[in-house]
Amino acid sequence: MAHRLDRRLRLTISQTDRARLEERRRLLQLRRSRQDQSRTFRQVAHALCEQGVRGFSKLLPKDCLEIALRFAHLPGQDERFVWPQRDCRRWDSPTGRDELFRQALLACTNLQGSVCVIFHPYQAGLRIPAATLHDHAATVIADQFEAIWVTRCDPAWWLIEIAAIDNELCFSLDLSPQVSP
């Protein structure tokens, strides 16, 4: 009987070892979560770096959510906003999409300052100079994303939405709560 008791004691893990393993597991889960949240950013960043683009940075998911909440007063459906001032245009090719986007970006920013590209409110986004985004639009707004939102990183009320599902680009220069219905 003493032999069985001794064997069970050897098979148990000490409390300090258990705590260390649990902490290691928690950190691994956190790392995996951060990797999942940054997958889209890493994909776009890799493509931009291959083209020699510099000067962009990762936008943390909490910042993407904070920016997206600026427009929470707008009605929405699924991954899209329902636009109060319907300034939406359709494209029929990736080249047409890129041209529409460049026109909207120019109308909203005059290519001054940095903009934030939000692929999903709970994913890492992209902070990039507007002029760089204008020049490399095809790389950033590829059809692989359901909806992408582009706006200024600092408080602003203009927004561009690119919806690949509907082949539609919508934008407005003023979506402040006072203007929308």
pLDDT at 143: 61
**Token pair listed for 59:** 């936008």
pLDDT at 6 (0 to 100) = 56
First to last CA, the chain: 79
Whole-model pTM: value is 0.77
Which stretches within 90-160 are classed as H helix?
Answer: 94-109, 130-135, 137-140
Q: What per-residue confidence (pLDDT) applies to 181?
A: 45
| SS3 of residue 79 by DSSP | coil
Per-residue pLDDT, 74: 77
What is the model's pLDDT at position 180?
Answer: 43
Buried-exposed string 45-66: b where 16+ CB fall within 10 A, e elsewhere: beebeeeebeebebbbbebbbe
How far apart CA 46 and CA 181 sit, in angstroms, is 41
Could you give the C-alpha distances from 28 to 22, 35, 59, 73, 117, in angstroms and in order? 10, 10, 22, 37, 28
Using pLDDT thresholds of 50, 70 and 90, give the confidence band for residue 5.
low
Cα-based distances in Å from 82 to 69, 76, 78, 86, 175: 15, 5, 10, 8, 12
Mean pLDDT of the 5-10 span:
55
* pLDDT of 96: 92
Domain positions in the chain: 2-35, 38-172
The pLDDT tens digits for 42-51 are 889 999 999 9
pLDDT tier at 179, thresholds 50, 70, 90 = very low
- CA separation for the pair 5, 13 (Å, rounded): 14
Note the pLDDT of residue 86: 63
Q: What pLDDT digit, counting tens, does each position of 122-156 carry?
A: 788 999 999 999 999 999 988 667 788 999 888 77
Q: Compute the distance between CA of residue 105 and CA of residue 89 in angstroms, rounded to an integer.
A: 14
If one counts every other C-beta atom within 10 angstroms of the C-beta of residue 13, the result is 10
Residues 58-76 have pLDDT tens digits of 998 889 888 888 887 777 7
On the question of pLDDT at 57 being above 60, the answer is yes
Query: How confident is the model over 87-135, as pLDDT tens digits?
Result: 788 999 999 999 999 999 998 888 888 999 998 877 889 999 999 999 9
The whole-angstrom separation of Cα 48 and Cα 79 is: 25
> According to the model, what pLDDT value does residue 98 have?
93
